[in-house]
Amino acid sequence: MARAATTTDAFNAVAEPVRRQILDALADGERRVNDLVVLLELPQPQVSKHLRVLREVGLVRVRPEGRERIYRLDGRSLRPIHDWVKNYERMWSERFDALDDVLEDLKKEEGRGNDDN
């Protein structure tokens, strides 16, 4: 086995910068393929191929409209990523430092519960 297929999960799909660009573009609302082509200044096949990957992991949905295809964001597949990174938020956010302080204070004031962490 070589590398995990990008088509497998959202983590891999989103590791590709162009695909993130596409998602960001779709965040403003649905778009036709060609709108994305123009917007991202990329060759059309490349866009279509990335859209395919995004489709396969459920990050976007298509709606045909005449000869055009309207792509729409479906961000729910991003949730696992969000939930995963969220556990690390404390490592950079001062908000969490503040929270830690509060917790420490609580421990001290709250009496002599001998909890160590």
* Residues facing 56 on adjacent strands: none
- Residue 15 makes contact with a second copy by CB under 8 A: yes
Q: From the list 27, 28, 41, 67, which residue makes contact with DNA (rule: CB under 7 A)? A: 67
Give the N- to C-terminal CA distance of the chain in Å, as an integer: 41
Closest separation in Å from C-beta 28 to DNA = 16
Name which of DNA, a second copy, none residue 37 binds, using a CB cut-off of 5 to 8 Å depending on partner kind: DNA
Q: Please report which helix (H) or strand (E) contains residue 33, including its range.
A: helix 33-40
Q: Footprint of DNA on residues 3-62 (CB under 7 A)?
A: 3-7, 16, 18, 32-34, 37, 42-53, 62
Query: Which residues in the 54-73 window bind a second copy by CB under 8 A?
Result: 73
Burial 79-112 (b: 16+ CB within 10 A, else e): eeeeeeeeeeeeeeeeeeeeeeeeeeeeeeeeee
Q: Smallest gap, in angstroms, from Cβ of residue 28 to a second copy?
A: 11
Least separation in angstroms between CB 86 and a second copy: 7
- Strand order from edge to edge, sheet including 60-65: 31-32, 68-73, 60-65
- CB closer to a second copy, 68 vs 100: 100
